[in-house]
Amino acid sequence: MSDQVTRRTFLEIASGLTAGVVGSTRLSATPLAPFVHTERNRAIAIASANGLGAVQTAGELAEQGMDTLDAAIEGVKLRELDPTDMSVGYGGLPNEHGVVQLDASCMHGPSRRAGAVAAIEGIKTPSVVAKYVLKYTDHIMLVGVGATRFALSYGFQQEDLMTPASRERWLRWRANRGADDDWVNVDGDEEMVQRPTGTINCNVLNSNGDVSSVTTTSGLAWKIPGRAGDSPIIGAGQYTDNSVGAAGSTGRGEANIKVCGAFLTVEGMRRGLSPTDAALETLRRVLETTQPRLMNEEGRPTFGLNFYALNKNGEFGAASLYPSSFAVWDGTEASVQDTAYLFERR
């Protein structure tokens, strides 16, 4: 304590600080910039490109009055339950030990609540489990065995999530991953599966201006067991602020986590950027934080990353590092549209 500050003076200052926090505006936090929004009368849903059916379902349900989070989850469940989608839910590609571990998170704009699960095993619809975490607990994220036990306590059925097709892909990867390992390479003309980072993100706005978002994935194929990407991370895989809008991501999770990309995109929209420009700004931040080992000789990233965004006015957009696409339901029909992007493909 400074020699110039007596105990009495210190207590008076401390008392004043407390009073300022509780009953005065002179020491209050700087208020968030207001988002100027207009009246609208239709629902909007935006998702990653694999979510054409998801946005159709989610948008129509929201238009009919279903809660935005419930509508978004009904949309992404189409992918989670589709055994032909090897990047989400049932049939998702496993970790290096041959175990499918799923991640999901969601945010409900009206209630300002969030829920997430990571590395959950044997449950086809982790998006629903994430909603249960949001709805029934005072926590936000459950992981691993704890997440699985939580799901089972609510009557979810634990199943083998590997399909014959996904198991064959894993066996081929394990056999052919290195010339000097102890596995005999599998012959055949089938092209080797690389390491897909496919995920589905879906953001929904209703005619009342309420917003919600959800992201779900089986994660990076052949990952180290226990790895969680950006999908279950609130503020990275998805983020919602009911006064502004929502955003979410697919692609390399490790690159997104470092910039809290979904949160950053929503904050860009709060500052007045369009959804597309906010997503592009976030991608530029990603580039600033990318290690040289993940850049090619031209100084461009060797991975893909997409952001999808929607504001309260019903304006939507998406951006990616390289040309890509996204799905949207604009109140009348679902369509696939091109993203804005930073780099052309070579």
C-alpha–C-alpha distance, residues 317 and 39, integer Å: 19
Q: How far is CA 327 from CA 111, 240, 307, in A?
A: 26, 19, 12
Beta pairing, strands 141-143 & 113-121: parallel
**Catalytic-role residue among 199, 215, 217, 250:** 199
**7: exposed, middle or buried (Cβ count in 10 Å: 0-12, 13-18, 19+):** exposed
Q: How far is CA 177 from CA 40, 156, 196, 304, in A?
A: 53, 35, 15, 22
- 199 catalytic? Reply is yes
Tally of CB atoms within 10 A around 303:
17
C-alpha–C-alpha distance, residues 273 and 97, integer Å: 44
Using alpha carbons only, give the angle 343, 325, 202 rounded to the nearest 5 degrees: 125
Q: Can you list the pairs that 331-338 forms with residues at least 24 positions away whose Cβ atoms lie under 8 Å?
A: 331/42, 331/43, 331/44, 331/59, 331/63, 334/52, 334/53, 334/55, 334/56, 334/59, 335/52, 336/49, 336/52
Residue ranges of the alpha helices (H) in the chain?
7-23, 52-63, 68-80, 126-136, 144-153, 164-176, 253-257, 261-270, 275-288
The answer to whether 31 and 270 have CB atoms below 8 angstroms apart is: no
What the block records as the tokens of 66 is: 């279903």
Q: Which residues are catalytic?
A: 199
